[in-house]
Chain A
């Protein structure tokens, strides 16, 4: 139990579907992240939110739409995805993003997405 909970754990969707991934952290952290993990590839940062404000969008296609209503919750809305978007999507949180923090990330167990 890392204090970061992701739902659903598994999701299968068609290319025309609309679905959402949810992340909740119980650690009192101020920063939340979405990462994409594909087999044999480095973790790929997608979005960063700090105090509910998006501070980074790593050139992610618009078919991925993040939402951060408060510092404890993060969503990733999915629409008209492609088969190559199939991957493990990891949510993480940290105390903050500035230099005063070590930057240690606490990860959720991920949402395994399959796009047919």
Chain B
């Protein structure tokens, strides 16, 4: 089966930066996704990486290294509304998507 690891919980202060790491071991690779899920709400798409490097989208950036099986999601200038669960998901050689268990980020004032 596919293996996707990310930390269970992270806490940071408002205005700070938090980096959520995701490592994966999958049969083949056809893209990595990050989703945000607020408590009681639907997961929503944040970013998609298929080539190595950094993708920046406002306060959020996502990085991918395919050779290392590694990605991170960088959240800058944290706001209270960023408190949520962040899900890493990888699409394998058969274009099937597997999810990590999610990282719960708590932003404190």
Which A residues form the contact surface with B (CB < 8 A)? 2, 4, 40-43, 45, 56, 90, 97-99, 102-110
Contact = CB atoms under 8 A, between A and B. Distances in A.
Interface string B45-58: 10010100000000
A17 B100 CA distance: 32
19 contacts: A40-B8, A40-B101, A42-B98, A43-B43, A45-B96, A45-B98, A56-B96, A90-B43, A97-B95, A99-B30, A102-B31, A102-B48, A103-B97, A104-B45, A105-B35, A107-B35, A107-B44, A109-B42, A110-B42
A41 B100 CA distance: 8
Contacts of B33: 103-105
Contact of B100 (A42, A45, A56, A98): A42
Sorted from nearest, which 3 A-B pairs have the closest CB atoms?
A43-B99, A107-B42, A42-B99
A76 B5 CA distance: 29
Contacts of A103: 30-31, 33, 91, 95, 97
Contacts of B99: 42-43
Contacts of B102: 42
Contacts of B50: 102
Contact of B97 (A4, A40, A105, A110): A105
Majority SS at the chain A contact face: loop
A109 B40 contact: yes
B18 interface: no
B4 interface: yes
A69 to B, nearest CB: 23
Contacts of A107: 35, 42-44
A40 B89 CA distance: 15
A104 B48 contact: yes
A104 B31 CA distance: 10
Given A90-B42, A110-B42, 8 more contacts: A4-B42, A42-B101, A42-B102, A90-B43, A103-B91, A105-B33, A105-B97, A107-B43
B73 interface: no
